[in-house]
């Protein structure tokens, strides 16, 4: 799973693990959205 998927699902532990593994919090997905925007859009 990618950080955007974890963010969309509200899976904080998954997001934290991805960040610990060096994933950039500002990385963009195929729609040019950051994980934060994915989380906001999923409610």
Q: What is the pLDDT of residue 43?
A: 81
**Exposed (0-12), middle (13-18) or buried (19+): which is 17, by Cβ within 10 Å?**
middle
**How many structural domains are present in the chain?**
1
The pTM of this model reads: 0.91
Q: What is the pLDDT of residue 42?
A: 94
Contact 27, 19 (CB under 8 A): no
Condensed to tens digits (0 to 9), the pLDDT of residues 8-43 reads 999 999 999 999 999 999 999 999 999 999 999 998
Give residue 32's domain range.
3-41
């Amino acid at each position: 799973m990618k950080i955007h998927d974890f963010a969309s699902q509200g899976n904080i532990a998954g997001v934290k693990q991805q960040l610990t593994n060096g994933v950039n919090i500002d990385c963009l997905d195929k729609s040019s959205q950051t994980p934060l925007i994915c989380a906001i859009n999923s409610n």
